Amino acid sequence: MSSSSSSSSNSTWSLGDASSSYSATSIPRYCSPQILWNSPYALPCEFGFIGCQVFFRPSDVEAWISHSISHFTAFDIRPPSKAICTFCDEAVFENKRDLESGWRERMNHIAGHFARLQSEEELRPDFGVIEHVRKFISVEDYKRTQRYSERPRGCPGLVFPQPSALFLCLYFAYFDFLLLTGH
């Protein structure tokens, strides 16, 4: 089943600690964590382009940021010294002396966009970040990131066309919950 394969592929860097203290969840992209949590928005992992489907509650910004940094750690690298906001054109974050602080500043800024209820569909890739990790990701994932420049990134499945979709969403979320908690 697709949900089991996606969870296992992410487990090396994402959810070993998250399941205990963070309110992260890993769900198929066609599900809506907002609906699951009855939350106005959810914070998606920046590394959705390599298949990470982890979302965090709005109150868990720090865990969301730490999780994003864990992706760089998994590649045995540090965050890039320069990155941009994935929502707006203006914001550029550069900190050559303290890479993690620069990255945290950027992520807090992006969290502000989500808090203003800007849609995930408004997100654009930070191609600098993608280049930063390029040699660690698959050719297929890299090619997919390049397609994002031609159309908005987003998940059309976030809109439920029929009630059965909500049922499926809950079903797979429960299935992932069991996997993550080791049941």
Q: How far is the CB of 171 from Zn ion (least distance, A)?
A: 23
Q: How far is the CB of 162 from Zn ion (least distance, A)?
A: 29
Q: Count other Cβ atoms within 10 Å, centred on residue 125.
A: 19
Of 35, 36, 88, 155, the one binding Zn ion (CB under 5 A) is 88
| Binding of Zn ion by 155 (CB under 5 A) | no
On whether the CB atoms of residues 48 and 68 are closer than 8 A, the answer is no
| Binding of Zn ion by 85 (CB under 5 A) | yes
Q: How far is the CB of 12 from Zn ion (least distance, A)?
A: 11
Residue in 13, 44, 17, 46 with CA at minimum distance from that of residue 29:
44
CA angle 61, 16, 168 (to 5 degrees): 80
Listed ranges 87-95, 114-122, 152-160, 161-169: which one lies at the site for Zn ion (CB under 5 A):
87-95
DSSP helix/strand/coil, 54: strand
| Site mask for Zn ion (CB under 5 A), range 36-75, x = bound | ---------x-x----x-x---------------------
Residues 58, 117: Cα–Cα separation, whole Å: 11
Determine the size of the site formed for Zn ion (CB under 5 A).
Answer: 9
Task: Give burial (CB, 10 Å; 0-12/13-18/19+) of 162.
Answer: exposed
- By beta-carbon proximity to Zn ion, the closer residue of 124 and 160 is 124
Of 91, 155, 158, 170, the one binding Zn ion (CB under 5 A) is 91
Q: Count other Cβ atoms within 10 Å, centred on residue 96.
A: 8
Q: Which residues bind Zn ion (CB under 5 A)?
A: 14, 45, 47, 52, 54, 85, 87-88, 91
